[in-house]
Structure 1
Amino acid sequence: MPFNTELTRKLGIRVPIVQGGMQWVGYAELASAVSNAGGLGILTALTQPTPEDLRKEIRRCRAMTKNPFGVNLTLLPALVPPDYAAYARVIIEEGINIVETAGNSPGPVIRQLKAANTIILHKCTSIRHAASAVKLGVDFLSIDGFECAGHVGESDITNFILLSRARQSLGVPFIASGGFADGQGLAAAISLGAEGINMGTRFMCTIEAPIHMKIKEAIVEAQETDTELVLRRWRNTSRLFKNKVASEAVKIEKESTTGEFKEVAPYVSGQRGRQVFINGDKDFGVWTAGQVIGLIHDIPTCQVLISRIEREAIDTLAKAQSLIVDEVKSKL
């Protein structure tokens, strides 16, 4: 086991890589493959329509891996919010002791999970929100830089600064999230003080990811400039893959004279985005992707990907170590 970080020790994993929770992607097929390869696979709770469906998915994943895996529970604004407490109760009843939380006002759910001795990895896009999560007793912070897919926050701070701020001020172990796809990135994150990395978009582009191959091919063909920031006008900014629908949503958002959300609502439908992963039409609806798409050039298995990242990170850290010379010996 070449890596010995707080993350590997506490989660019982071999490689300090967490597969982020992704809506319509975090199913048992992907989570088990990541865990079997030595990382931490994550099921996405709200991808399941009910808490009981989540229970079935947890049991299905457990049948596919003997290694640790976790569940993501994201709290998002909604007219009729899901029963988050019921989802958390199922997680506890099924003996899942690692949960990735994210979103607004997570206090009640985090307290519910911590009462059952659950290890909490909480995703934050700002130091201010991270400091609030520390007060709730989270075990790890997943620091999400502006490069990330999905909800990027409103402060636009990239990971190079955000991770260093986390190291300087938070006093809680943290994971680097947003913009990671290879071992050089893992080595850089560790050098900046992180205990490991969280990858979402990179895991979408693996054999086991339960999405259409044409979408994976679209990621491989894309460049780092092929994302859009949508819903900034309403301070709910999301980074999406730049397709026809996302570009039209941005156009309406910028040109609307009323500023009413209903004008753009049909273009940002999550259900249409879900269909993209099923039908393979990248322009059918909006879907999340990070700027890291510019670093993704193949569609490997999770085993091949994680083994490659592990090897690259070890080589990168060893090379950095070799650059340090003994001044006395160098003068001889």
Structure 2
Amino acid sequence: MTLRTRLTDLLGIEHPIVMGGLTFYGRAELASAVSNAGALGMLTALTAGSPEALAAEIARCREMTDRPFGVNLTLLPTIDPIPYDAYRAAIIEGGVKVVETAGRAPTDHMADFGAAGVKVIHKCASVRHALAAERMGVDVISIDGFECAGHPGEDDVGGLVLIPATADRVSIPIIASGGFADGRGLAAALMLGADGINMGTRFCATQEAPAHPGIKRLFVEKDERDTNLIFRSLGNTARVMRNRISDEVVTRLSRPGAAFPEVAELVAGTRGRAALVGGDPEGGIIWAGQVMGLIHDLPTCRDLVARIVAEAGSRATTLAAMTGKGETSDARA
């Protein structure tokens, strides 16, 4: 079964499924497995730790797959400057042809990426930001519904409304993100006007995900109610797995006048990484979306992607039968 869309044509991938830019997880083992399954794997630049390490990770990923993969470059305001120009150079020199940007607008990177033939996916959480990114010249919009892990913005609009609202206003391909784990979601996203889906939490619950087996089992054991929204009072909402640490973050920041320094030690990336490696479910912040309610196993990436595409095709066939038009396999927008 093939579901051909503007996204598959633009990025040269077999299936309209993209791996999210995942902190800690976005390394060659998982990215190459996703790409080998016919979807688009994604390395995470800041997880590599330095431009030199990213260059090495790109080379390592290329040894593990001959299919397209991308790099997530999250643009953050930080106290200590991040050498983004050097990260960009590592991406271009490594021959990567797809980059996903997130955080602030990638205005100062667009010229170099364009000159190198790199397709830019920009992650947005609102229609207005998607329109601004399109005007800036990005090639694809990844639109994040409120269900997503990570930062869903401050508007609290779910994907069922946000995806078609974006499709109504944006002319370039869009990727639906937040709440996707199976073929039902892929079929629904295509019907809502998207050209593909982005999956982050779901790929964390696979055999190739580089986390402790005990952490991976959490994604199966927990459900759609097991997330917390942290940093709401700071105007930087983030959805994470509910555990002792995230509960404490919510409690501390609910106090009048509470500020980030009061939770800094709880949300430290080093603490979260130690939990993921060591398998301590209460050891730190673990990023996860409401889609945990749809995760019931820990398949290989190849089996997962094949299952999603087959199920989406089955749903499309069922819909076609309802209209009396027979089977179709072309999901082109």
TM-score range, shorter chain: over 0.9
Q: Does 1:322 align with 2:321?
A: yes
Q: Which amino acid aligns with 1:95?
A: G
- 1:4-43 map, 5 Å: 4-43=4-43
Take 1:246 and 1:120, find their aligned partners in 2: how far apart are those partners?
33
Take 1:212 and 1:109, find their aligned partners in 2: how far apart are those partners?
35
Take 1:125 and 1:202, find their aligned partners in 2: how far apart are those partners?
19
Q: Between 264-273 and 190-199, report the one with greater CA deviation.
A: 264-273
Q: Which residue of 2 aligns with 1:193?
A: 193
Q: Which residue of 2 aligns with 1:148?
A: 148
Q: Which amino acid aligns with 1:308?
A: R
Q: Which amino acid aligns with 2:316?
A: L
Q: Which amino acid aligns with 2:113?
A: L
RMSD over aligned Cα, in angstroms? 1.1
Superposition deviation, residue 81 in structure 1: 2.9
Take 2:224 and 2:110, find their aligned partners in 1: how far apart are those partners?
34
Superposition deviation, residue 94 in structure 1: 1.0
Take 2:108 and 2:87, find their aligned partners in 1: how far apart are those partners?
13
Q: Which residue of 1 aligns with 2:308?
A: 309
Take 2:47 and 2:109, find their aligned partners in 1: how far apart are those partners?
18
Take 2:173 and 2:21, find their aligned partners in 1: how far apart are those partners?
19
Superposed CA deviations along residues 31-76 of structure 1, whole A, max 9, x for unmatched, are 0000101000000000011101000000000000011111000012
Does the aligned pair in 2 maintain the 1:223–1:294 contact within 8 Å?
yes
Q: Which residue of 1 aligns with 2:328?
A: none
Superposition deviation, residue 258 in structure 1: 2.8
Superposition deviation, residue 218 in structure 1: 0.8
Q: Which amino acid aligns with 2:308?
A: I
Q: Which residue of 2 aligns with 1:132?
A: 132
Take 2:199 and 2:300, find their aligned partners in 1: how far apart are those partners?
15
Take 1:150 and 1:260, find their aligned partners in 2: how far apart are those partners?
20
Superposition deviation, residue 194 in structure 1: 0.7
* Deviation beyond 4 Å, 4+ runs, structure 1: none
Superposition deviation, residue 170 in structure 1: 1.3
Q: Which residue of 1 aligns with 2:237?
A: 237
Take 1:81 and 1:103, find their aligned partners in 2: how far apart are those partners?
15
Q: Which residue of 2 aligns with 1:329?
A: none
SS in 2 for 1:66: coil
Superposition deviation, residue 109 in structure 1: 2.0
Q: Under a length normalisation based on structure 2, what TM-score does the superposition of the two structures give?
A: 0.96
Take 1:244 and 1:181, find their aligned partners in 2: how far apart are those partners?
26
Q: Which residue of 1 aligns with 2:61?
A: 61
Superposed CA deviations along residues 73-122 of structure 1, whole A, max 9, x for unmatched, are 00122111311111001100111111111111321123331222210111
Structure 1: runs of 5+ lacking an equivalent: 327-332
SS in 2 for 1:63: helix
Q: Which residue of 1 aligns with 2:294?
A: 295
Q: Which residue of 2 aligns with 1:250?
A: 250
Take 1:286 and 1:27, find their aligned partners in 2: how far apart are those partners?
19
Superposition deviation, residue 265 in structure 1: 1.5
Superposition deviation, residue 222 in structure 1: 0.2
Aligned residues: 325
SS in 1 for 2:18: strand
Q: Answer 1 or 2: higher relative contact order, Cα 8 Å, separation at least 6.
A: 2
Does the aligned pair in 2 maintain the 1:111–1:136 contact within 8 Å?
no
Q: Which residue of 2 aligns with 1:109?
A: 109
Q: Which amino acid aligns with 1:114?
A: G
Take 1:106 and 1:282, find their aligned partners in 2: how far apart are those partners?
35
Superposed CA deviations along residues 180-239 of structure 1, whole A, max 9, x for unmatched, are 000010000000111110000000000000011101101100010000000011101100
Take 2:249 and 2:49, find their aligned partners in 1: how far apart are those partners?
27
Q: Which amino acid aligns with 2:136?
A: L
Q: Which amino acid aligns with 2:25?
A: V
